[in-house]
């Protein structure tokens, strides 16, 4: 009997091997390997063809939710008082502006480290004035008077990265080139000089003079 069992076992093994081999050959012929489609095998969209915001210049209006909102350069007549620069936080979150700088290209004011502008609120930097600093008022006694006829202001994040800019009277003024490079201003553009006792007010619609207009002083409001 043993002599019969061994040949039968060998024969069964041979049949099983042949069957499995045939199945394996069938499976391998059905499997399709992923095909590379040139340099973009996953068919990702071309970043150069993805639509971008249309204004201004195809970039976001501002690099920062905190922007220069109002500037008083000629506080005379019925609105006599200090010159000032107002910043506004348009976001829904408090913004830490500690170490940020307001500059006219010569003078600078640096916000204290840890200073925050609350969501939807404003902080006023009073030029050439001293006082008790609060969450909504800062004082820059060593900051020179802002020129009435022509001038500019820049807001620098961490004291180096320009995130907002405005200039009035003529072009170019200090830091215009830097503002143009980051699409925060348009080369050769400027806000016309406001009448006596009026302010420059920003409406948030663009990064050029079209978003600025003369208004009544409303520091902190």
Report the C-alpha gap between 21 and 175 in whole angstroms.
Answer: 76
What's the whole-number mean pLDDT along residues 46-74? 65
Model confidence band, residue 63 (pLDDT cutoffs 50, 70, 90)? confident
> In this model, does residue 1 exceed pLDDT 70?
no
Closest by CA to 187, choosing from 207, 211, 212, 213, is 207
Q: What are 137-163's pLDDT values in tens digits? A: 999 999 999 999 999 999 999 999 999
> In this model, does residue 53 exceed pLDDT 50?
no
What's the whole-number mean pLDDT along residues 95-114? 97
Between 36 and 109, name the one with better pLDDT. 109
CATH of 66-215, one of 3.40.50.2020, 2.60.40.1260, 3.40.50.1980, 2.60.40.1180: 2.60.40.1260
Q: What are 161-215's pLDDT values in tens digits? A: 999 999 999 999 999 999 999 999 999 999 999 998 999 999 999 999 999 999 9
Residue 191's pLDDT is 98
Is the separation of the CB atoms in 186 and 208 below 8 Å?
yes
Between 38 and 63, name the one with better pLDDT. 63
Q: Where are the domains of the chain?
A: 66-215
Distances in Å between the Cα of 32 and the Cα atoms of 22, 27, 28, 29, 67 are 18, 10, 8, 8, 56
**Residues of the chain above pLDDT 70, percent:** 70
* 157: β partners: 161
Is the separation of the CB atoms in 179 and 165 below 8 Å?
yes
Residue 82's pLDDT is 86
């Amino acid at each position: 009997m043993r002599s019969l069992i061994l040949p039968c076992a060998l024969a069964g093994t041979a049949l099983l091997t042949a069957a499995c081999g045939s199945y394996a050959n069938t499976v391998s012929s059905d499997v399709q390997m992923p095909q590379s489609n040139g340099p973009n095998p996953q068919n990702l969209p071309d970043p150069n063809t993805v639509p971008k915001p249309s204004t201004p210049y195809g970039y976001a209006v501002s690099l920062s939710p905190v922007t220069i909102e109002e500037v008083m350069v000629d506080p005379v007549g019925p609105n006599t008082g200090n010159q000032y620069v107002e910043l506004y936080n348009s976001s829904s979150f408090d913004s830490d502006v500690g170490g940020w700088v307001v500059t006219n290209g010569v003078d600078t004011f640096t916000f204290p480290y840890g200073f925050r502008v609350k969501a939807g609120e404003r902080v006023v930097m009073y030029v050439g004035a001293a006082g008790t600093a609060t969450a909504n008022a800062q004082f820059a006694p060593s900051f020179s008077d802002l020129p009435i006829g022509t001038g500019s202001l820049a807001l620098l994040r961490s004291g180096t990265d320009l995130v907002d800019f405005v200039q009035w009277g003529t072009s170019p003024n200090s830091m215009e080139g830097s503002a143009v490079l980051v699409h925060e201003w348009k080369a050769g553009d400027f806000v016309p000089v406001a009448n006596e006792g009026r302010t420059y007010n920003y409406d948030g619609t663009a990064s050029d003079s079209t978003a600025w207009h003369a208004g009544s002083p409303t520091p902190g409001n």
